[in-house]
């Protein structure tokens, strides 16, 4: 692999990058399709539309640098609505991952495709995501797995590069965050991990032809060494202690309507009244 590839954008144009993008697109389409709400945000990675299967009416793409998209003022972002002719998801917001221009408890879904490992302060980025998410909101995260064949090759390549030779297999700007380390961060921020998947079990090879020959490792890896995939995929929910979600009002109304009504027995009431009056007369 050429040593000129130093960024994630350039790396995604290589055979292993295309292979990884194809796997992640499938996972994102499955994960976000049934997440409902009103506001969704993709933070970083313009090369992939992670929200294309989601049906929320307001969707945004936030970037940390100006690209070939329109930048919108922060005070207008919550007033945009997706129209059939133009989706607000394709409008890029120029922002910083640790200072998102959204009010607290305003987003239903935040997607972080390799965002944390490219951030200068990944823990602060995750805290900011927790701030803008509504209670029971979801965050979807992908990242490179250091405990994989790809991670081992990247670690060896870094050692060789320090000695003055060799090149990196993965983007130079990425800093791996382990799967269990990320789960600890999420737990500290009161997130509950709903699902976790690993993928891309083929060896760290640069050539598309050789990657195709090792296609059999996908099923074998998922069965025999599932946590050693080159990339992990997490879905977590923001939990708020002491909060009780109220159901729709029509459920309570239907329960009251269907409850049996108490009807007084007129004959019993009349006999009771007659006996009472008789007792009064005798007395």
User: Residue 9 class from Cβ within 10 Å (0-12 exposed, 13-18 middle, 19+ buried)?
Assistant: middle
Answer for the pair 101, 91: CB distance below 8 angstroms, yes or no. Answer: no
Rounded Cα distance between 236 and 245, Å, is: 18
- What are 136's two structure tokens? 């029971």
Q: How many domains does the chain have?
A: 1
Q: Which DSSP string do the residues of the chain spell out, in sequence order? A: --TT--SHHHHTTSHHHHHHHHHHHHHHHHHHTT--SSEEEEES-TTS-TTTT---SEEEEEESS--SS-B--GGGGGG----SSS-GGGSEEE-BTTB-SS-TT-EEEEEEES-GGGSSSHHHHHHHHHHHEEEEEEEEEEEE-SSSHHHHHHHHHHHHHHTT----SS-TT-----HHHHHHHHHHTTEEEEEEEEE--S-S-S-HHHHHHTTTHHHHHHHH-GGG-SEEEEEEEE--TT--PPPPHHHHHHHHHHSPPP---HHHHHHHHHHHHHHHHH-
Q: What CATH number has the domain bearing residue 231?
A: 3.40.50.150
Model pTM? Answer: 0.73
User: What residues have CB less than 8 Å from 189, skipping those under 6 apart?
Assistant: 126, 127, 130
Question: What letters, b where the CB count within 10 A reaches 16 and e where it falls short, cover 164-194?
Answer: eeeebbbbbebebbebeebbebbeebebeee
pLDDT value of position 35: 92
pLDDT of residue 253: 58
Q: Could you tell me if residue 215 is inside a domain?
A: yes
Establish if 280 belongs to a structural domain: no
Is 13 a domain residue?
A: yes
CA distance 153 to 229: 13
Cα–Cα distance for residue pair 62/101, rounded to 1 Å: 10
pLDDT, position 78 = 44
Q: 103 exposed, middle or buried (CB, 10 Å; 0-12, 13-18, 19+)? A: exposed
Task: Collect the ranges in the chain with pLDDT lower than 70.
Answer: 1-7, 65-92, 161-167, 172-174, 242-283
Classify residue 169: in a domain, yes or no. Answer: yes
The structure tokens listed for 55 are: 């049906």
Residue 254 resides in a domain:
no
Which residues constitute the domain of residue 228? Answer: 8-238
In a domain, 179, yes or no: yes
CA angle, 200 then 204 then 205, to 5°: 110
Task: Tell whether 221 is covered by a domain.
Answer: yes
- The pLDDT score that the predictor gives to residue 258 is 60
Residue 279 falls within a domain, yes or no?
Answer: no
pLDDT of res. 120: 85
């Amino acid at each position: 692999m050429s040593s000129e590839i130093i960024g994630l954008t350039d790396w995604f144009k290589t055979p292993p990058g295309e292979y990884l993008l194809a796997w992640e697109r499938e996972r994102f389409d499955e994960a976000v399709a049934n997440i409902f709400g009103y506001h969704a945000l993709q933070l970083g990675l313009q090369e992939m539309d992670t929200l294309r299967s989601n049906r929320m009416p307001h969707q945004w793409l936030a970037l940390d640098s100006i690209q070939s998209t329109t930048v919108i003022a922060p005070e207008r972002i919550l007033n945009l609505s997706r129209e059939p002719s133009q989706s607000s998801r394709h409008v890029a917001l120029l922002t910083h991952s640790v200072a998102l221009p959204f009010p607290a408890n305003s987003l239903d879904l935040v997607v972080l495709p390799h965002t944390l490992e490219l951030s200068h302060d990944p823990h602060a980025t995750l805290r900011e995501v927790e701030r803008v998410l509504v209670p029971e909101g979801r965050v979807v995260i992908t990242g490179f797995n250091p405990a994989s064949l790809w991670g081992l090759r990247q670690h060896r390549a870094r050692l060789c590069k320090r000695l003055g030779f060799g090149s990196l297999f993965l983007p130079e700007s990425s800093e791996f965050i382990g799967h269990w380390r990320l789960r600890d961060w999420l737990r500290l921020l009161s997130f509950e991990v709903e699902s976790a998947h690993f993928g891309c079990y083929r060896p760290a090879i640069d050539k598309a032809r050789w990657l195709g020959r090792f296609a059999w490792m996908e099923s074998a890896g998922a069965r025999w060494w599932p946590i050693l995939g080159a990339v992990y995929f997490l879905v977590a929910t923001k939990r708020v202690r002491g909060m009780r979600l109220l159901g729709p009002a029509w459920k309570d109304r239907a329960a009251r309507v269907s409850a049996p009504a108490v009807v007084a027995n007129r004959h019993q009431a009349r006999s009771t009244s007659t006996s009472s009056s008789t007792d009064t007369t005798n007395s």
